[in-house]
Amino acid sequence: MKVIFMGTPEFAVPALKKLHGDGQEIVLAVTQPDRPRGRGRQVSATPVKKAAIELNLPVYQPESIRTVEFIRLVQSQQPDVMVVVAFGQILPKSLLSVPPFGSINIHASLLPKYRGPAPIQWAIINEEKQTGVTTMFMDEGLDTGDILLFEKTDIFPDDTAASLYDRLAELGAALLSKTLREIHTGNLQPVRQDHQQATYAPLLKKSDGQIDWTRPAHSLDAFIRGMSPWPGAFTFYAGRRLKIFRAVPARTDVREAPGTVILGFPDELRVMTGEGALSILDIQGASGKRLPIRDFLQGNSMPPGSCFSTAC
């Protein structure tokens, strides 16, 4: 089929490559404009643009997809289907209605759960045991279209948002490939979402990463993993911001206020939570370098009784 592919981040790249490898005729790859990225704020291309250039595909980067110019461009390509993977803009009805086989989206959750921009992070933060990817026909709502296919995967105890992101990207690419094949042969029956069961996964801000030590240790373990790599889980100690990358729950009989450093093994940083303790494994201080806790403690004394919270 003739495909217009719309996507922006790394998550969309496996899907683009899979469709190209399947022999689908990708007539246009649409992605966000080049913007400043990273620490140095250097202007750089999106991952989808880089992949499309490598595959020798035509690329278009509109500031807005709601212009007459863009809609006419899409119409001129006469696509059979449009595929949208984490593009970054909601498509208007005037675009959705162009391809005869419809517009298809991959969403990184088992819809109708976790609609919205951050389904991967929130699934981990909320301690879900399972998640997955869903392909659906797009409508004018936010992840509200009829479901085509879905694929489940377990969330492992050591999964971070980064590791789950990579796994779901590959799973989504394979599911999209299957979806297009079955749409083309007329074998798919779309299923309407149960909107009563819908939940929302809101966009995360940097401030959302602050650790609330009154939460149970198992909940904070999931929170830290869900916030990794962005926006990152952080706390404050003596006025300094500390970023925590990895931690595990630890049993304790101690009763201290949440956020209090308690006695642990040598070279261990154990912090009291609302239920149990949390042993911090990887941390980043003012140096800006991620360190194993043993190395960090060599230059940063945090004796029992020290506090990471205003509550202690």
pLDDT at 74: 97
Residue 310 clears pLDDT 70, i.e. is over it: no
User: Is beta strand 25-30 parallel, antiparallel or unpaired with respect to 59-60?
Assistant: parallel
Pick from 45, 164, 139, 132: which is nearest to 84 by CA?
139
Q: What is d(CA 202, CA 114) in angstroms, rounded to the nearest whole number?
A: 9
Over pLDDT 70: what percentage of the chain? 99
How does DSSP classify residue 143?
Answer: S
Domains assigned to the chain? 2-197 (3.40.50.170), 206-299 (3.10.25.10)
pLDDT computed for residue 41 by the predictor: 80
Q: What is the mean pLDDT of residues 175-201?
A: 96
Average pLDDT of the residues in 167-175 = 98
Alpha helices by DSSP H, the chain = 13-22, 47-54, 68-77, 93-96, 119-125, 161-185, 217-226, 293-299
Worst-scoring range by mean pLDDT, 39-48, 140-149, 157-166, 294-303?
A: 39-48
Q: What is the pLDDT of residues 60-83, one digit of tens each?
A: 999 999 999 999 999 999 999 999
pTM above 0.85, yes or no: yes
Mean pLDDT in residue range 251-266: 92
Q: What is the pLDDT of residue 142?
A: 93
Contacts of residue 170, defined as CB under 8 A and 6 or more positions apart, other chains included, come to 14
Residue 311's pLDDT is what?
A: 63
Q: How does pLDDT run across 86-108, given as a tens digit for each residue?
A: 998 889 999 999 999 999 999 99
Task: Tell me the mean pLDDT in the region 14-20.
Answer: 98
pLDDT higher than 90, residue 55: yes
Predicted confidence (pLDDT) at residue 130 exceeds the cutoff of 90: yes
pLDDT of residue 37: 77
Report residue 198 as tokens.
């819908």
Residue 135 has pLDDT above 90, yes or no: yes
Q: Given this model, what pLDDT does residue 120 score?
A: 98
Task: Reply yes or no on whether the pLDDT at 21 is more than 90.
Answer: yes
Helices 47-54 and 13-22: crossing angle in degrees, nearest 10, is 20
Q: Using CA atoms, how far apart are residues 213 and 181, in angstroms rounded to an integer? A: 49
The encoded tokens of residue 100 equal: 């005869």
In order of 51, 122, 209, 229, the CA distances from 204 in angstroms are 27, 9, 8, 12
Q: Give the mean model confidence (pLDDT) for residues 10-28.
A: 98
pLDDT at position 38 over 90: no
Mean pLDDT (the chain, rounded): 95
